[in-house]
Structure 1
Amino acid sequence: MLRKNGKLGKKVEEILVGEKLHLTETIEDKDLLLYLGLTNDSNPLYIQHDYAASTPFEKPIVPAIMLNGIITSAISKHMPGPGSHIREQNLKFLNPVFHYETIDFMLQVEHVDAKQHVIDVSVRAFNADKQPIVEGIFKVSPPY
């Protein structure tokens, strides 16, 4: 939690087009159970192996909103960091993520509009087999 004199993220005038952030996340049972418990989401596709086996996925998948959460957390913590605010997002979920998969996320600043106080951050994510998982763009207001 940011304390009274805590460090804020980068201000709009400190951000450069082309800046990148790479992070790797592995989806663990604890993460899934926390999400499902907090949201009261009981979709059998996420947790029931017998149901998931009868679908084209063949095994339980990770909720797309969890992947979204990893991305928004990276924006809040690192790019541009604490004090920032997501104003808009457009994401495509291209392939499913299965339990225990490791996902590589790449975020990049695509545009800086100092006058409107907004930056565009693109995101791409891939699984260990280099299949695309997520792609999209976020419009973010950096800290003031």
Structure 2
Amino acid sequence: MSKYDLIQVGAKESFAKTITETDIALYGAISGDFNPVHFNSVYAAGTMFKNRIAHGMLTAGLISALLGTRLPGPGTVYLSQSLNFRAPVYIGDTITAEVEVLEKYPEKKQISLKTTCINQNGKEVVAGEALVMYKE
């Protein structure tokens, strides 16, 4: 029996990380996204967020980490991901990425998963769905 066969519909996994100033700086350097809402406190104070926020894709990246390391795990290849950004993530927030297996497509070794990120207060900050291929 393969590892793919052992993955059950309804299986869940999570991964938590506290977002730091360094995370935002590194993500900006890697991505080239230096939007002042992420880097300039004076600018951010004048926005609806009232403070600097993390990049949405930095937060969504926690989902990628979870898929590639825990469920399904090493060998996972992203095919698609829908994302709805529901609330801001601030420096110091602890974000828990969660995935849940919704459906399996054995003929292609594909899996669809519900994907969410929740902050330390239980507020959903990102919601979506992923389709991945799992190669052992």
TM more than 0.5: yes
Distance 1:70 1:125 in 2: 8
Length-normalised TM-score, structure 2: 0.93
> Quick check: 1:83 aligned with 2:70?
no
Alignment match, 1:124: 116
> Quick check: 1:29 aligned with 2:21?
yes
Q: Conserved in 2, the CA contact under 8 Å of 1:12 and 1:112? A: no
Alignment match, 2:11: 19
Per the TM alignment, residue 74 of structure 1 is displaced from its structure 2 partner at its CA by: 1.0
Query: In structure 2, which of residues 91, 99, 105 is the aligned counterpart of residue 107 of structure 1?
Result: 99
Per the TM alignment, residue 121 of structure 1 is displaced from its structure 2 partner at its CA by: 1.2
Percentage of pairs with the same residue: 28
Distance 2:96 2:67 in 1: 15
Q: Conserved in 2, the CA contact under 8 Å of 1:87 and 1:141? A: yes
Per the TM alignment, residue 11 of structure 1 is displaced from its structure 2 partner at its CA by: 3.6
Per residue, is there more helix in 1 or in 2?
Answer: 2
Runs of 4+ in 1 over 6 A off after TM superposition: none
Alignment match, 2:48: 56
RMSD: 1.3
Partner letter of residue 66 of structure 2?
A
Distance 1:56 1:20 in 2: 34
Unmatched runs of 5 consecutive residues or more in structure 1: 1-9
Per the TM alignment, residue 120 of structure 1 is displaced from its structure 2 partner at its CA by: 0.7
| Superimposed CA distance per residue, residues 23-72 of structure 1 (whole angstroms, 9 cap, x where no aligned partner) | 21100111111111112221000010000001111001111110121111
Length-normalised TM-score, structure 1: 0.88
